[in-house]
Amino acid sequence: MRGIDRAIEAAGGVVAMAKAVGVAHQVVTRWKKNGYVPAKRVAAVSALFNVSARDLMDPRLVELASDTVGE
């Protein structure tokens, strides 16, 4: 299960998550469709729903960060 799906489940659904984060439910639906949370919302969603920030992020950003670690 993807991080966004785990966060939505922990929140009690899309509408509940949207209210907790302070966005419209359509925004959370878009996150779900995309498969990740935008970088500027990752920390809040991670803290609220106890899902790893890495699991919530755009996989391309995770990969980019992994490539630059240790340089």
pLDDT, residue 62, reads 75
Q: Is the pLDDT of residue 3 over 60?
A: yes
CATH 3.40.50.300 fits 3-68, yes or no: no
Q: Are 46 and 52 in contact (CB under 8 A)?
A: yes
Quote the tokens at residue 30. 């878009």
Measured between alpha carbons, how far is 10 from 70 in angstroms, rounded to an integer? 34
DSSP one-letter code for 32: H
Q: Are 5 and 55 in contact (CB under 8 A)?
A: no
- pLDDT-derived band at 69 (thresholds 50, 70, 90) equals low
Angle of CA points 37, 41, 47, to nearest 5°:
100
10-65 tens-digit pLDDT: 999 999 999 999 999 999 999 999 999 999 999 999 999 999 999 999 988 877 77
